[in-house]
């Protein structure tokens, strides 16, 4: 049964499933669109699905610099979905966030009771019309999801400005964040317990051996992703401007956190924007976008050649830390402008979410209506990886994605629809069935409508 929504929640429920009718008695009458949404959600193996939306940007903001028109009334919003006995429960909570970072600015604890979110850029101030009007972000949020229909802001703390990505430790008691201030790139570790944050431990990457000498901010070093090893003892940090991944041991002695390098960093492909450990921690996989950072416009920066993935064999965690040896062992091409990356629960399939040229203005020769998901097979023993195929779908600026808990479905975010697109091609979660076996494939099932600007999704039991 769905808890009676507030007026604000009613509005977002209508946006979400497109035509829920709310009667004076507070009951919900499901239309065909709502029935289709319930059917899609019912297929996905998850008790909680959380998606984050950026209300300040539109798909073409990267090309024009112009924010969404104020009269559109878009909002930075967390949406939480669940379904029981065919009934969709939906909760929403305004939470500042930004699509300008990697998709990894939202994550759930393994039990699905807490969501962590960070903001690379803050929400627009009154009168703000351009990207330059957005303030620097510096907050980390914890959202209590004990009542999924009524998510509650549990805690907020400040981190270094321009936080790019976050990850929660396997047991849920620490959050790692990477930030890129004008002066330095930082890894930060924040404790979380009993609904509140502890102190923030800051670690300058230059002091940990990750430094640059380029004539650019931070010497050219930019950290775009952080991930916890399944053991909870180590983290990986993507340095996309140097085409490297650095690994660190997280040490906790006398209540004081410290980091030390876990072996040497590893060179991968160009612009490893995001990454993931495999379920057993034996490998770390990166999505190498391949952007040209010297370019001054969107056409020059976003390549029209396929992106790639790199596979790093990770050193034995039980071995010596300082002399550990990680090694890139394989790679494969994906599709143009791959950003999001996901690994199936059994570690045998990899997927990337590819924007292609969907964010270009319609008058641009680079403009495309279709984005794609690339499916790849992975051998958890050898690290061999091979591309299966690209699966196209209509929509602007898809970024994040995830397999469900059984690996039977894949969800990709769609930031917005193209002008004139039908409801089934508007913002939301594109849902695919994963065909398993000797010839794995993806089969498109449909789209779960969501508020404008959705750019990452995570799920839990």
62 in a structural domain: yes
pLDDT of residue 213: 87
Average pLDDT for 349-372:
95
Distance CA 253, CA 108 (A): 27
Which has the closest alpha carbon to 292: 271, 272, 278, 309?
271
pLDDT of 29 = 33
Determine the 3-state secondary structure of 448 from DSSP. Answer: strand
Domain membership of residue 77 (yes or no) is yes
Tally the domains of the chain: 1
Q: What are the pLDDT digits (tens) for 376-434? A: 999 999 999 999 999 999 999 999 999 999 999 999 999 999 987 776 679 999 999 99
Whether 181 maps to a domain, the answer reads: yes
Average pLDDT value for residue range 168-195: 97
Assigned domain for 2 exists = no
Per-residue pLDDT averaged across 165-183, rounded?
97
CA distance 221 to 203: 14
Within a domain: 336: yes
**Cβ(176)–Cβ(184) below 8 Å:** no
Examine residue 27 and state whether it is found in any structural domain, yes or no.
yes
How high does pLDDT run on average in the chain? 91
Residue 1 lies in a domain: no
Q: 373, 429 in Cβ contact below 8 A? A: no
The residue among 32 and 61 whose pLDDT is bigger is 61
In CATH, what number is assigned to the domain containing residue 159?
2.130.10.10
Angle between helices 32-43 and 7-17 (to 10 degrees): 80
CA 58 → CA 67, 262, 440, distances in Å?
6, 40, 34
- pTM of the predicted model, to two decimals? 0.92
- Edge-first strand listing for the sheet containing 196-204: 163-168, 174-180, 185-193, 196-204
Q: How confident is the model at residue 214 (pLDDT cuts 50, 70, 90)?
A: confident
Q: Is residue 266 part of a domain?
A: yes
Q: Looking at residue 8, what is its pLDDT?
A: 38
Confidence band of 296 (pLDDT split at 50, 70, 90): confident
User: Where in the sequence is the domain holding 267, given as residue range(s)?
Assistant: 7-460
Q: How confident is the model at residue 15 (pLDDT cuts 50, 70, 90)?
A: very low
Choose among 155, 154, 158, 195: nearest CA to 177: 158
Distance CA 346, CA 279 (A): 7
Q: Is the pLDDT of residue 7 over 50?
A: no
Print burial letters for 123-146: b (CB count within 10 Å at least 16), e (below 16). Answer: bbeeeeeebeebeebbbbbbbbbe
Q: What percentage of the chain reaches a pLDDT higher than 70?
A: 92
Q: Please give the distance of CA 271 from its chain centroid, rounded to a whole number.
A: 16
């Amino acid at each position: 049964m769905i808890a009676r929504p507030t007026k604000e929640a009613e509005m977002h429920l209508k946006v979400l499933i497109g035509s829920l009718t709310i009667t004076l008695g507070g009951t919900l009458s499901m239309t065909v669109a709502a029935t289709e949404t319930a059917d899609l959600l019912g297929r996905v193996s998850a008790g909680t699905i959380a998606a984050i939306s950026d209300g300040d940007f539109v798909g073409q903001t990267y090309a024009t610099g112009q924010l969404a028109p104020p009269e559109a009334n878009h909002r930075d919003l967390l949406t939480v979905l669940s379904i029981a006995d065919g009934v969709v429960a939906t909760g929403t909570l305004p939470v500042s966030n930004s699509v300008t970072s990697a998709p990894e600015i939202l994550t759930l604890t393994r039990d699905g009771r807490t969501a962590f979110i960070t903001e690379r850029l803050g929400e627009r101030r009154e009168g703000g019309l351009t990207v330059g009007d957005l303030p620097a972000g510096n907050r980390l949020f914890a959202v209590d999801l004990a009542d999924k229909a009524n998510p509650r802001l549990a805690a907020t703390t400040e981190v270094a400005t321009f936080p790019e990505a976050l990850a929660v430790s396997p047991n849920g008691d620490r959050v790692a964040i990477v930030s890129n201030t004008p002066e330095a790139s930082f890894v930060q570790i924040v404790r979380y317990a009993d609904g509140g944050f502890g102190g923030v431990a800051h670690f300058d990457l230059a002091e940990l051996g990750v430094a640059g000498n380029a004539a650019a901010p931070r010497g050219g070093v930019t950290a775009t992703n952080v991930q916890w090893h399944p053991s909870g003892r180590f983290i990986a940090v993507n340095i996309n401007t140097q085409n490297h991944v650095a690994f660190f041991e997280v040490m906790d002695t006398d209540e004081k956190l410290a980091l030390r390098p876990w072996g040497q960093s590893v060179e991968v492909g160009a612009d490893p924007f995001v990454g993931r450990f495999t379920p057993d921690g034996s490998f770390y996989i990166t999505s190498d976008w391949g952007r040209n950072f010297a370019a001054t416009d969107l056409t020059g920066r976003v390549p029209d050649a396929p992106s790639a993935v790199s596979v790093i064999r990770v050193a034995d965690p039980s071995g010596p830390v300082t002399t550990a040896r990680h090694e890139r062992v394989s790679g494969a091409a994906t599709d143009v402008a791959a950003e999001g990356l996901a690994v199936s629960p059994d570690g045998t399939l990899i997927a990337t979410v590819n924007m292609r040229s969907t964010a270009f203005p319609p008058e641009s020769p680079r403009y495309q209506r279709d984005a794609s998901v690339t499916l790849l097979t992975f051998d958890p023993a050898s690290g061999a990886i091979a591309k299966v195929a690209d699966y196209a779908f209509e929509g602007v600026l898809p970024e994040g994605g995830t397999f469900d808990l059984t690996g039977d479905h894949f969800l990709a975010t769609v930031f917005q629809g193209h002008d004139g697109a039908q409801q089934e091609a508007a913002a939301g979660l594109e849902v695919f069935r994963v065909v398993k076996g000797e010839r794995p494939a993806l089969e498109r099932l449909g789209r779960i409508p969501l508020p404008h600007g959705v750019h990452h999704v995570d799920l839990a039991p």
